[in-house]
A and B are shown apart, each in its own frame.
Chain A
Amino acid sequence: MQQRSIVRLGVPLAVAALALSACGSRDAGTTSTAGSGTKTVKIGVIAPLSGGLSALGLGIKNSVDLAIKQANETNAVPGWKFELAAQDDEAKAEVGKNAATKLSSDDAVLGVVGTLNSSVAQQTMPVLAAANIAQVSPANTNPTLTQGADAAAKKRPYTNYFRTCTTDAVQGPFAAQYLLGAGIKSVATIHDKKTYGQGLVDAFTVEFKKGGGTVVAAETIGENDKDFSAVISKIKPNSPAAIYYGGEYPQAGPLSQQMKSQGLSVPLMGGDGIYDPKYVELAGATANGDLSTSVGAPTESTEAGRKFLDQYKAAGFAEPAAAYGGYAYDAAKAIIEAAKTALKDAKDVKSARAAELTALGKVSFDGVTGKVAFDEFGDTTSKILTVYKVDGGKWIASKTDTFK
């Protein structure tokens, strides 16, 4: 009998406690601190924090972290405190989608910086769009993300998506013009069949042929391939003067090394996906002369960029800012900049999300990678690109130009 009364008392108590705690948790994120002054607003990050591309992903996360810390120090939006909510996408579309779902269920998230991979962005965009959360990518370069699948009839698929980097529609042709300018008329292309790699190679091929060049071989490799000897042997008899590779450094580095050890000693050129110190490390001593394009001017070549790198260094992050640090920093700054208008009179983050999207479209300031402003598709208005060349084990800027 004793036990029974405990149960009788216990059950309603437990139910009440659960109900109360449920109320509490719902309020805690957004409005419960309303009376006491500062409210919390979160900026999410979706990037590969582990796996082969983590060097790039961690650089993005740290740079956003830096932007958030600075915004809090300067009290960028009075009454609001920014917080970082980083999620690992492992460079996989499905994992990225889960990360986006997680962030969109958090009422305090105003915007997300990410993703690194275009293929992941395709999955995160619709999820975040449903919650009206802004996504600003520092690194997605696939043109279809902003302009739709049909290049002839451009249509923006999701109005919550912006990016601070230029697209492959510009990057591939820029590389083609550079190679033609360097007197290279025959090229073999290889890509990894991912959205990014294929987009890059397609755009490159069109421009290269238009400029009078020939693509002597067009090959693909599998996403998990490690041994490229068969592909290299297939290309070699066509004696291309350069290889244009669409993909990222984990495969591009070994590909370059294997090419050269197999006697195909021509430069490998790629997009921003191979512009990383890790590429040179993986490609080894024979990487000299390899080329890459990357969006914007080199971070260390501008006054603002140097300042950013100094601050990044001073903040004491364990990993370098890598290729997209500056873009991620600018993306976070854009979200914060827009938040100044969006959050001004808002009572919680959720109701400010729509205003944030409008404000993002109108953002215009000088960032570390150049002018940060978006066109009607959400693409950056800056079309400055740089060709980098491996020299003595490092990427050296070889030519910076505005794409015409």
Chain B
Amino acid sequence: MDQFLQQLLNGITLGSLYALIAVGYTVVYGIVQLINFAHGEVFMIGAFGSLATWTIFFKGQLGLWVLPFMIVGAVLAAVVVALILERVAYRPLRHAPRLAPLITAIGISVFLQEAVRLFYPGAKSALPFPQIDMVTGPAFQAGPVTVRRSAVFVIGALVVCAILLWFFINRTKMGRGMLAVSQDPDTARLMGVNVDRIIAVAFAIGAALAGVAGVAQGLQNSNIDFFIGFMAGLKAFTAAVLGGIGNIYGAVVGGLVLGVVEAMAVQFIPGTFGGSPWKDVWAFVLLIVVLVFRPQGLMGARVVDRA
């Protein structure tokens, strides 16, 4: 039982990271029906953005007060890159067949990886991430469960971001505009909604959360490299589909479920098919099973009804 609780916490931590990234997939899909495969790389850029902020301005500083600046650096880097992508690569293709932007996204993903690998100093191999006081260091002991400090940060980040996102979508004019565009872009335009701006905002929101996830990943795993976006992006995409792509709450639920399944698979599946190398297999088996019996995902596509 102790082990179960411990792995549940590990899973929720990992799942929170997936969820933060998955929201970006789902928001963009809900509005433009584009699977932005470069989103994993936006997450990676976020991680490098916060590392760069730290290296340039705060090198050697490990106080907790540095963390907000690093988060701002991550979010800025991710949002700027995502907006440029949207403007340069996706907007010209908005009325092209759906396959075209999909392939473009894959191309951009490779481009961003290689750009970081070649031009970020030292990024040819993994770079250590600054170990901020308070969020790293000795773990807490809550009864039988060991709680890593970085886990508190990751889960906390998801909670805060989810609340802010809910507030933004349901309580602001811009958020209602997003809902309107996701239901019917043409009618929304006729009603005076600036569709281009709404789409850019959707990209920016996804990127901002991915930037936060980048910091979380750095703190959690203590290092980052140019390739982290690939697997994280794939997992987050899986999470988004699992929860029901287009549905923001679905992305959160999907991410958490995926993370918990992975942690449990490591702990409880014995023999040849158990252990860490097989956890990805079980995660994708779960995806297949869910899609067979519930093609719309766990939560269904609630925000958008056209998917």
User: B280 to A222, Cβ gap below 8 A?
Assistant: yes
Contact A234 B222 (CB under 8 A): no
Interface residues on A, range: 35 or more
- Other-chain contact of A253, B117, B141, B223, B267 (Cβ < 8 Å): B223
Question: Which B residues lie within 8 Å of A258 (CB)?
Answer: 221-222
Judged by a CB distance under 8 angstroms, whether B41 is at the interface is no
Assess whether B277 is in contact with A221, with CB atoms less than 8 Å apart.
yes
- B279's partner among A53, A222, A237, A250 (CB-CB below 8 A) is A222
| Per-position 1/0 for B5-21, Cβ under 8 A of A | 01100110110000000
Any chain A CB within 8 A of the CB of B61?
no
Q: Which residues of B contact A254 (CB under 8 A)?
A: 126, 221-223
B71 interface residue, CB < 8 Å from A?
A: no
- Are A227's CB and B221's CB within 8 A? yes
Q: Chain A contact residues: over half helix, strand or loop, or mixed?
A: helix
The interface size bin for chain B is 35 or more
Nearest CB in chain B: distance from A241 CB, A: 18
Of the residues A52, A54, A263, A284, contact of B141 by C-beta under 8 Å: A263
Contacts of A220 in B (CB 8 A): 275-277
Q: Residue among B13, B138, B150, B221 with the most chain A CB within 10 A?
A: B221
The verdict on A236 contacting B146 (CB below 8 Å), with A50-B124, A219-B275 known, is yes
A224 interface hit (Cβ, 8 Å): yes
Q: Whose C-beta in chain B lies nearest to the C-beta of A236?
A: B146
**Residue B187 CB within 8 A of the other chain:** no
Q: Which residue of A lies closest to B6 (CB)?
A: A233
Query: Which of A52, A225, A229 has most B Cβ within 10 Å?
Result: A229
Contact B126 A282 (CB under 8 A): yes
Distance of B175 from chain A, by nearest CB (Å): 33
Q: Does B263 contact A (CB under 8 A)?
A: yes
A376 within 8 A of B: no
Nearest Cβ distance between residue A310 and chain B, in whole angstroms?
Answer: 26
Cβ contact within 8 Å between A51 and B280: no
Q: When the two chains form their complex, are residues B221 and A193 in contact, meaning their CB atoms are under 8 A apart?
A: no
Whether A224 and B231, one on each chain, are in contact in the complex, defined by CB atoms closer than 8 angstroms, is yes
**Residues B231 and A284 in contact, CB atoms below 8 Å apart:** no
C-alpha gap A193/B276 in the complex (Å) = 11
Interchain CB contact (< 8 A) of B277 among A222, A236, A263, A285: A222
A178 interface residue (CB < 8 Å to B): no
Contact A230 B10 (CB under 8 A): yes
Instruction: Find chain B residues with CB under 8 A from A222 CB.
Output: 276-280
Contact with A along B126-156 (1 / 0, CB 8 A): 1010010000111101000010111100000
Report Cα–Cα, A54/B280, bound state, in Å: 27
Q: A209-225 interface mask toward B, CB cutoff 8 Å, 1 = contact, 0 = none?
A: 00000000001111111
- Least CB separation from B280: chain A residue: A222
Q: Is the CB of B139 within 8 A of A261?
A: yes
| Per-residue interface assignment for chain A, residues 48 to 78, with 1 indicating a CB less than 8 Å from any chain B CB and 0 otherwise | 0011111100000000000000000000000
Cα A264 to Cα B131 in complex, Å, equals 18
Judge whether A231 and B266 touch: CB under 8 Å.
yes
| B148 pairs with A261, CB closer than 8 A | yes
CB distance from B284 to the nearest CB of A (A): 13
**Which residue of chain A is the closest to B222 with respect to CB atoms?**
A257
Q: Can you show 25 pairs from A to B with CB atoms below 8 A apart?
A: A51-B124, A51-B125, A54-B125, A222-B276, A223-B277, A224-B231, A226-B231, A227-B221, A229-B14, A229-B263, A230-B7, A230-B11, A230-B279, A231-B275, A233-B3, A233-B10, A250-B125, A254-B223, A258-B222, A261-B150, A262-B139, A263-B146, A278-B126, A281-B128, A282-B126
List the 6 closest pairs (A to B, CB-CB), nearest first: A230-B266, A222-B277, A257-B222, A229-B10, A230-B263, A221-B276
Known: A237-B2, A237-B3. 15 other contacts (CB 8 A): A50-B117, A219-B275, A229-B14, A229-B148, A230-B266, A230-B276, A231-B276, A233-B263, A234-B7, A253-B223, A254-B223, A261-B138, A261-B150, A262-B146, A284-B131
